[in-house]
Amino acid sequence: MFPNKAPACSGALFFQNIFLKTMFDYDKFYKESSVNINSDPQRFSRIASLCRGKVLDIGCCFGVLADYYSGDYTGLDFSASALEKAKKVRRADARFLLRDCSDLTDFSVSEFYADSIAECQCAEYKKAGQGLCPKHEKTPAFPNFDTIILTEFLEHFKNDEKILGPIFKHAKPGSRIIVSCPNGPRIPDPSHERELTIPELRKRFSPYGKVKFYNWPHAYHQILMTCDLGQKNDDLLSLVMCVKDEEKGLERAIFSCIDFVDNIVISVDSKSADKTLEIAKLYADTLKTHIFADDFSKLRNDAHEGVKTKWIFFLDGHEFVTQSPDLEKFLAMDIDGLLVNVKLENSFVFPNPRIYKNGVSFEGKIHEKQICKTTFYYPGFIVEHCRLGVQDPEAISFRQKQCDDMVPRHLTAEIKKNPKNVRAPFHLGLYWESKGEFKKALFYYRKYLKYSKNNQERWFILFYSSMCHLALGHPFRAFHCAFLAELEAPDRWETSKLKGLIFSRKKKWVKAIESLVDSLKDNKGPTLYRPWPRNLSGTWNLVGECFFNLRNFEKAYLAFDRAAELCEDKLPKKFLEKRSRLMREIFQRSFSK
């Protein structure tokens, strides 16, 4: 916004000591600068959307916000040059006042309404035309405003007591304070007297009102916060994270839920080799460090200690929230845990009570589980798990080696301790299948099915058992498992598509087509485990291949044409279109003969 020799902020810079320190003539700078030099449409439109009622913009500079907020607007600034330009280019009904905002203790009605004696309620003074009476000329002006704005401003002061103190003391309950400022050291500037962080701002403002931070396009560089004075903070939900070497993904994870968490707790592994700890300091209301002791449950339970909110939400540093509709409604429920959707890199979706009551603990040294007596499925909340691109290859490799050591060792020990344990064989089967060890996977899947009574999980394990048999070249056994899966959870499109694949493998093209077409239906009711993403284009492509093998070229080109129509990726779409044209040409040649 400003040249290198000037501050990067749009707020008023009017301390005398700042002038002496930087030897920079801001009034001259404003004279020579364009009125739109600090105009950032995304920032000002977002701030304007948070404004309500009468607005007081402290340190308004050229009053850009007046062009974005259409309501009653008053801007304060120390620079006469800035305000002269603002009055010329901003809307006519915007009010601008020249004032040193470093000390707002005496900001009174008389100053605000200096040109309007009608504001005085004392009839005799009105009649005499004497301006405001002595009783009212010292009346604080802050109660006249519904929104008070401090944007790119507070970082220029070591002590903000004479700025915020009068606001906290005199502004009316229900007034909103809007603050924006650089996120820690993200916008270096010689005129900045301090660096502000989310936990510092929460601590400073929360005693006076309800504080909320926002995920917006510039969040990584500029904090955006509101404080609604006189309202209690919800203190409903804490974000608790246990992280190691998460420098690339940690901020994305935090900002994905910054709008709805009331407290942030981050426990950083002391062996982190990147900037994870440095980043965590910018966001953690409570910052902890830990030494991993071969037990993920202990790690998470230790991180919970000291949390005072009613609910806890755990998120890893390589995860992020993509949806959280109607969260407050679900947090009002009388249950121990909310089952949310966790989506892996391969599009596999499974439920997990990531949101749980404070007091719920974890058990299990690996693939730890929250011990919730009662749970409720919250389908709209989605957590995406993604290591690629947000963790260094070294960190991913370490995590894989750790998994390869801990999963077989701990889960096998759990089965020996309790043969009826279903959690351990569930995860051991998935682990060995991921390694391509299908026989080992089936061994543990059978152990799981022997004792499990959960229909959704049994469907899932039978589905994967079928996939293992298919990979081993056992189509009959694969079909048998698919048949059993259908009994556990009827009418799922995934089961029908799996049957279509099995029939296709056995070259039973007609039955394959029947099953594949049946898979085009939608599932009814909750489906907690979703191993495949919906891919209608891919299904129609398989139908086309079956018709091709039946030498029914007309239906083959119609199926490929439908596949192309539904395909959203350019390269596969072109391939499918080419397939469709080729089948059409073959059909037309055969028909002409």
| Distance, CA of 340 to CA of 349 (rounded, Å) | 10
Q: What is the pLDDT of residue 131?
A: 54
pLDDT recorded at residue 392: 83
Q: Tell me whether residue 118 is exposed, middle or buried, using C-beta atoms within 10 angstroms of its C-beta: 0 to 12, 13 to 18, 19 or more.
A: exposed
Are 303 and 288 in contact, with CB atoms under 8 Å apart?
yes
Give the residue ranges of DSSP H helices in 452-535. 455-471, 475-488, 493-505, 509-518
Inter-CA distances, 30 with 27, 67, 81, Å: 5, 18, 6
- pTM score of the predicted model: 0.89
Q: How far is CA 415 from CA 284, 310, 368, 369, in A?
A: 38, 34, 15, 16
Terminal alpha carbon distance of the chain: 74
What pLDDT score was predicted for residue 19?
37
Looking at residue 114, what is its pLDDT? 53
CB 123 within 8 A of CB 117: no
Provide the token pair at 566: 């539904």
Residue 56 DSSP code: E
Q: Which domains does the chain have, with CATH numbers?
A: 16-229 (3.40.50.150), 237-386 (3.90.550.10), 414-588 (1.25.40.10)
For 436, the 3-state DSSP assignment is coil
Q: Quick check: 35 and 25 in contact, CB under 8 A?
A: no
Identify the residue whose tokens are 């700042």: 18
Question: Do residues 75 and 83 make contact, with C-beta atoms less than 8 angstroms apart?
Answer: yes
What pLDDT does 39 receive?
79
Three-state secondary structure of 329-390: HHHCCCCCEEEEEEECCCCCEEEEEEEEEECECEECCCCCEECCCCEEEEEEEEEEECCCCC
Query: How do the pLDDT tens digits run along the chain, 593 residues long?
Result: 233 233 344 433 333 333 333 445 667 777 878 888 777 899 999 999 999 999 999 999 999 999 999 999 999 998 899 999 999 999 999 999 999 889 999 898 777 655 444 445 555 545 445 555 655 567 888 999 999 999 999 998 999 999 999 999 999 999 999 999 999 999 888 888 999 999 999 999 999 999 999 999 999 999 999 999 999 999 999 999 999 999 999 999 999 999 999 999 999 999 999 999 999 999 999 999 999 999 999 999 999 999 999 999 999 999 999 999 999 999 999 999 999 999 999 999 999 999 999 999 999 999 999 999 999 999 999 999 998 878 888 888 999 999 999 999 999 999 999 999 999 999 999 999 999 999 999 999 999 999 999 999 999 999 999 999 999 999 999 999 999 999 999 999 999 999 999 999 999 999 999 999 999 999 998 899 999 999 999 999 999 999 999 999 999 999 999 999 999 999 999 999 999 999 999 988 877 66
Q: 455-471 and 438-451 are packed helices; what angle lies between their axes, rounded to 10 degrees?
A: 160
DSSP per-residue codes, 164-186: HHHHHHHSPTT-EEEEEEE-TTS
Inter-axis angle of helices 553-566 and 570-592, nearest 10: 160
Residue 68 has what pLDDT? 96
Alpha carbon distance 564, 572 (integer Å): 8
Identity of the residue numbered 172 = K
Q: Which two tokens stand for residue 144?
A: 């006249």
DSSP 140: B
Rounded-to-integer distance, Cα 557 and Cα 544, Å? 7
Cα–Cα distance between 474 and 460 in angstroms, integer?
A: 19
CA gap 204, 17 in Å, rounded: 24
Position 372 scores a pLDDT of 97
- Closest by CA to 40, choosing from 180, 189, 188, 195, is 180
Please tell me the total number of residues recorded for the chain in this structure.
593
The identity of residue 296, as a single letter, is F
Distance CA 586, CA 70 (A): 65
- Characterize the bridge pairing of strands 349-357 and 311-314: antiparallel
Fill in the DSSP letter of residue 156.
Answer: G
Q: What is the pLDDT of residue 130?
A: 52
Q: State residue 1's pLDDT score.
A: 29
